[in-house]
Every structure is written in C-alpha cells, then in structure tokens.
Structure 1
C-alpha cells in the first residue's frame, strides 16, 4: 500500500487507542467491541487499506454502493447494511450482508424473511431505535421496541441480535450520553425478559464524534467513518 494512505493507518491506530481507553474506563475488554469501518463514498483502495489494518467489518449506507463494492473489494471481509433499507432493495443485499442494523418496521421484516427463506439462510438483524425521537431519523420510539420484538419473534428466517441507534449530532458529547444510557437500559431489560428468538447480544451505537461515550455506556459495536477515512 502506498504512503498515500498512511493517514488512514494512523487514524485507525488512534481510533483503536481511544476505543481501548473508553473500554478501560467502563471496566470492559476492548476485544469485545467491534469497530465497523463505514465506507460511504470511500474508494476501493482506501477500503483495502482499512482491511489490511484489521478492520474487516465494513458498513454501507446505500444498497447500490454496497453491491458495487462487494464485487470489487478483493479482501476477506464482512459487510453490514447500516443505512435505511427500502423493502424493494432487500433482494439485492440478502446474500451479501452479515448483519442489517436498520430494521424499523414490520413490512421490512416480512420482506427480509421472504428473501432469506429463498436463499436458505437466517438473516441477523438489529432493530433501529430513534431514542431522541428526531424527525430526521428513522427508527422506533423507545416505548414501541418491546411490542415490536414480540410481533416479529415468530419469523424463523430472521434473528434479532440486538439494537441500534443514531444519536443526535451535538458538539457537547455529555448532552448525547443520555441517549446511549436509555438504549442500554432497554437493551438490558429486554435481555432479562428472555423473549423467544430475541438474542440481545449486540448494541450498535456511537459514531466518529461520540463513540467513546457510546462505549462507556455499553455499546459493543461502533460505526466509524470520518475518524478513519477523513471528511467526505
């Protein structure tokens, strides 16, 4: 890899360092926290560089971009769908992704079930929660989550593995922390209920500007784009 992308290597080392410190502050092992490299608008060579530095879980926001990169990134890696997913686009990614982070409605679960059955697999998903109830973001409200899970837990080709949120983008990270605390609380509550076919193992929250606070509040998946690849 050319020196052109050395900054990506340095950025990854810095993200890992900060994640390890955040994990330490919360009494956790950094090895239990997955860093997903968000590759929105990022070119193939830069993605390859990130994989070579050990970030082999890639997150894409758009279906078309995911499909194009899936066919062109020639490294051992896994792809996650982290952006809003339309039901008519499920068919394009069902055989390509490891995890769908952004499930927020029954119609989408039904379509994932249908397409997963056709491909003979069980699709792992996260339920997206709009904790702050921002009009600009997708996701269920906190009070809708348990009822939704009890509605979709009968689907045998869909496996709920946890929850995801996108926190408000604020300069004051302490103002964001309550969002993470609230989602972690409901995550634990649901886990303790032991709802059939609901496996509360993954909590995806935190991005480039707030991932340290998210880890401190219980995240075990963080989605990092800008802090790795630079501003779009």
Structure 2
C-alpha cells in the first residue's frame, strides 16, 4: 500500500472560536514509537497507539472525535481518504488525509489492502489534527508507502564553458513517472504531505483552504526550474491527462 504523509491543513475548518481545550490536547499529544520494524531497523507507532493516548484527553475535556474514511479515485489509482473531526462544546475542527492503495500486496487480499490504507489514512489525519510528529522513518510513509526522489548527478563542468546556475537546475530536474507522481511528498504550511492532499484543496472551491492552496500551487507552478516547481507542473499535467482519459472513457 502506498500512502501520504501528514498535512495539517489539508482540509481544516473551524466553526467556533474558543479552542483552548483543543490546543491543550494538541500540546499533550505525544505518542511514543514503541513498535519496531526489524527489517528496516527503526521504531514507529500505529493508529491504536495514537488512540490510546488520545481517548483519555478527549474524556478530560468533554470532547469527542469522529473518524471516517471513503474511497476516491485519481486517474487509475484508488485512495482511502480519512477525515478526523474534533468536537467539543466550544470548538470544532477537521482535517483529511489520503492514502493510496497498492494494486496488490503479497499475502493480502483486496479487503485487507483497503483496510490497511484506511488505517494509515486515519493515523495521518490524526497526526495532522493534533500535530503529531510521525517521524521521517515511518515505515508506512517510507518503505511501504512512499518513494524518495532519485538523486541526480550534476553535469560535469568544463574549463571552457561552465554552466550557469539556471542551466544546472534544468539539467537536474527529475522526470517523474505517473506512479512516482502519486507518491511525492511536498512541504505545505509547515507540514510534509502527499502532493494530492494539497491539489485536492486547489480543486475544492468550497474548501476553507482553497484560496491558500491555490496561491501556493500557482507560486510553485511559476517556478518550473526549481525541483518543487518542476514537480508541481508535472503533477498538474498528470492530473489533467487522467481527467481527460476518464471523460473519454465515459463517452465511448
């Protein structure tokens, strides 16, 4: 299964003003990485551990949490999109997080793959909501759920004509496959998240974060010679291709 990383503003909306209880819970939310991946040799935490820490804090502040997931498709890829909604007598806020399913995974049938993606998406949504650091060695986001951008080698400089900085940047820009594009992580509003989480806010004009996400997206789209600008452009083109193919399939 392939999943996204945290996005604290992927779909956040508050409806009331007094957020003191919510902020208190955020400050006290600390989840220890008590699970170990012997193959990758790193520690991590799962959804169950997050809920074990969170439930007593919710009870203390007379608050509750609503977690739900729903499937969605982007191009040929299936995602589980989780929404975590916090509610107390004075404040409400929610975030969402998308996790992409693997087409197949050894030792798992289709329901297990969907369930695994849904579980990871819920964990991501909670990490977004309560600002939990899942760490760069999260097994879901790295080995099993993400890919890292391939390292590139700078072109050799000759004594006669050294390339300019702009030329070097263009030469080093990565060409992503469609598969790679769905896995890429970006920095948005201080959090690391899957690129689709940001673009979904660009597409959703009713989203509270639509204006901010659109401005961020346009800013990088207009910087095509930077690594992130290059990624944004390629993802935009990929999404538009996928939508056209989907519409053509419906018409045929």
Superposed pair shares fold, TM > 0.5: no
Q: Which of the two has greater helix per residue? A: 1
Higher relative contact order (CA closer than 8 Å, sequence separation 6+):
2
TM-score, scaled relative to structure 1: 0.27
TM-score, scaled relative to structure 2: 0.26
Q: Which has the larger radius of gyration?
A: 2
